[in-house]
């Protein structure tokens, strides 16, 4: 993921086949990548901690990573031909929030199902 975000723009595919006609498709890719990152990160924190703690720490780390990657693109822009885009950060945060919502839904559903089985 880190490589894809900081890879020189020349090394990235220009069109993504069928999806190349979708405007701002890269924002969707950002949301999916960072949502997946947050989903996996939540799994690292949840079992020993509460849902609220796991959600907060996952959001904090994920958003910091999203901002860090955009700052790196800005600082390395001359070498990798990439630039800081505020909308990329918004797409990242959108993906993170959706993933955390999904995690909370799954955990609460699993807890509810376990209660009914007793």
Given a contact cutoff of 8 angstroms between Cβ atoms, the answer to whether 8 and 81 are in contact is yes
Record the pTM. 0.84
Burial classification of residue 48, based on how many CB atoms lie within 10 Å of its CB (0-12 exposed, 13-18 middle, 19 or more buried): exposed
CA dist 33 and 7 (Å) reads 15
Q: Where are the domains of the chain?
A: 26-117
Given a contact cutoff of 8 angstroms between Cβ atoms, the answer to whether 63 and 93 are in contact is yes
Q: What is the pLDDT of residues 45-102, one digit of tens each?
A: 887 778 999 999 999 999 999 999 999 999 998 888 888 899 999 999 999 999 999 9
Enter the tokens of residue 14.
């220009």
């Amino acid at each position: 993921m880190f490589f894809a975000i900081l890879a020189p723009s020349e090394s990235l595919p220009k069109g993504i086949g069928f999806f190349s006609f979708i405007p701002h498709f890269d924002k969707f890719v950002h949301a999916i990548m960072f949502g997946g990152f947050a989903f996996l990160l939540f799994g690292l924190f949840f079992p020993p901690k509460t849902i609220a703690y796991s959600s907060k720490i996952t959001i904090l780390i994920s958003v910091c990573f999203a901002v860090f990657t955009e700052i790196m693109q800005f600082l390395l822009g001359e070498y990798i031909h990439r630039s800081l885009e505020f909308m990329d950060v918004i797409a990242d945060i959108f993906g993170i929030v959706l993933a955390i919502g999904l995690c909370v839904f799954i955990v609460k559903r699993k807890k509810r199902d376990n209660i009914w089985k007793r």
